[in-house]
Amino acid sequence: MSQSNIQSEFQNTLNAAMELDKNDTLKHYRKRFLIPQHEGKDVVYFTGNSLGLQPRTTLSYLQQELNDWAEFGVEGHFLAKNPWLSYHELLTDKMAKIVGALPKETVMMNQLTVNLHLLLVSFYRPTKTRFKILCEAKAFPSDQYALQSQIKFHGHSTEEALIEVAPREGEYHIREEDIFAAIEKNKDSLALIMIGGVNYFTGQVFDMKAITQAGHKAGAVVGFDLAHGAGNIKLQLHDWNVDFAAWCSYKYLNSGPGSVAGAFVHEKHLSNLDLPLFAGWWGHDKKTRFLMDSTFVPMQTAERWQMSNAPIFSMAACRASLDIFDEVGMDALIEKSQKLLAYLEFIVNDLSSQKKDCLQIITPKENRGCQLSIVAHGYGKKLYNALIENGVVPDWREPNVIRCAAIPLYNSFEDMYRFGEILKRLL
């Protein structure tokens, strides 16, 4: 069903929102998360795109590992209920489903930008003639810092080597034909394309399959930062032939602040044992790892990029969330997400029409996940502060953009209505 057909069914009333919740087949999952309180009521939590809420089961998953640490000490690596030696493997299959990968292409390790740097060691291999990197303008700053530092590390200047594709004058999101034009223009000097699969500012979802095809045609390696994609949109990294990707797990994947990140390397690269990388002992062949030989024997899975043993406590929190994702499935989550965001869009547009078009949605209607980015014309951060004071927790980006993430696991249609009513009072 198209977004316009969905929205024709909507009404901006509490009864209509409650009826939508009544018919929501995933509504009971809201009770499986701990929602912050404001004056005795659940807040309208719209920042799952920055930090997801805590599953109620997280505490028991963590407690299990604390108990095993207390009981077994170092022997917990072998005797724990979930032995720590192989703990990361408990996450692999479920994470692979979420990003559309083969299990051997997927690993949970480190933090997002650390993983990007480790992958860039392998996949950004500039030559005298092919050395440029293409990314989106105003990518998340950490991505920009990583790319800039990699370029400088290899002896190039960012001015000559970094190509940034920007929105056109007066527009907010990037036209994909401009990305393809930039690839074609630089096809003889392009070494790497690395784009945020979902733009953190606007919520625009890029056509990663088409970008990968265009990049490969130009002779470039293609990778994606999926911090705002994993757990949010339908991903098919293996089928799209993406070379590499990395993501965090504390946003849509609800794994807790600073929790373990993920990485993907396409299977076509896994048999290439000459691929350069920064090695650590957890990337060594697990069958001989503890023989402590001085010669590195790389694993022929994405685990090769591991450097150190697993951070068990953050992985336990991640596992609590991934078990919920595995139970629900991405298709069901995306179906609800689309309807939830369409209702939020309807509420915002209805409110804007009453308030002389002071609100402008800048997230593309046909290319989006859970996030709606809204420009509040004529308003500053005082509006954001007032929303917080009234029990709404959105995200703010200067100078006047409110980011709202409508998360299908724990947001309700009544949340969308309440947000509209509170915002109406504040404008």
Does residue 7 have a pLDDT over 70? no
Q: Does residue 101 fall inside a structural domain?
A: yes
Q: Does residue 41 fall inside a structural domain?
A: no
Average pLDDT over residues 229-236: 98
Query: What are 236's two structure tokens?
Result: 């098919």
Query: What are 377's two structure tokens?
Result: 């014309």
Does residue 296 have a pLDDT over 70? yes
Average pLDDT over residues 300-327: 97
| DSSP per-residue letters across 29-85 | GGGGEE--EETTEE-EE--TTTSPPEETTHHHHHHHHHHHHHHHGGGHHHHSSS-GG
Average pLDDT over residues 200-227: 97
* Boundary-marking domain end, from 306, 327, 348: 327
Task: Judge if 308 and 339 occupy the same domain.
Answer: no
Does residue 1 have a pLDDT over 50? no
427 confidence band (pLDDT: 50, 70, 90): confident
Average pLDDT over residues 199-220: 97
Q: Which long-range contacts (CB under 8 A, 24 or more apart) does 127-132 make?
A: 127/191, 129/188, 129/189, 130/188, 130/189, 130/190, 130/191, 130/219, 130/220, 131/156, 131/161, 131/189, 131/191, 132/160, 132/161, 132/162, 132/163, 132/186, 132/189, 132/190, 132/191, 132/192
- State pLDDT tens for residues 337-349: 999 999 999 999 9
Task: Judge if 310 and 333 occupy the same domain.
Answer: no
Average pLDDT over residues 150-159: 96
What is the C-alpha separation between 227 and 219, in angstroms, rounded?
26
**What is the three-class DSSP state of 352?**
helix
Average pLDDT over residues 159-170: 96
* Boundary-marking domain end, from 327, 356, 379: 327
The pLDDT of residue 8 is 61
Q: What angle do the packed helices 413-426 and 14-22 form, to 10 degrees?
A: 160
Q: Does residue 49 fall inside a structural domain?
A: no
Structural domain count of the chain: 2
- State pLDDT tens for residues 25-63: 999 999 999 999 999 999 999 999 999 999 999 999 999
- Using DSSP bridges, classify how beta strands 262-265 and 106-108 pair: parallel, antiparallel or unpaired: antiparallel
Which domain CATH number covers 238?
A: 3.40.640.10
Q: Does residue 40 fall inside a structural domain?
A: no
Whether the Cβ atoms of residue 241 and residue 260 lie closer than 8 Å to each other = no
- State pLDDT tens for residues 98-145: 999 999 999 999 999 999 999 999 999 999 999 999 999 988 899 999
| DSSP per-residue letters across 261-314 | -EEEE-HHHHT-TTS-----GGGB-TTTGGG--SS--B-SSGGGG--S---HHH
Task: Judge if 262 and 206 occupy the same domain.
Answer: yes
Task: Judge if 206 and 306 occupy the same domain.
Answer: yes
Report the share of the chain in percent with pLDDT over 90.
90
Mean residue pLDDT of the chain comes to 95
Task: Judge if 172 and 92 occupy the same domain.
Answer: yes
* Boundary-marking domain end, from 327, 344, 361: 327
Handedness of CA 116, 122, 126, 132 (dihedral sign): negative
Residue 96's domain spans which residues?
A: 63-327
Does residue 3 have a pLDDT over 80? no
Task: Judge if 234 and 372 occupy the same domain.
Answer: no
- State pLDDT tens for residues 355-387: 777 899 999 999 999 999 999 988 888 999 999
- State pLDDT tens for residues 65-106: 999 999 999 999 999 999 999 999 999 999 999 999 999 999
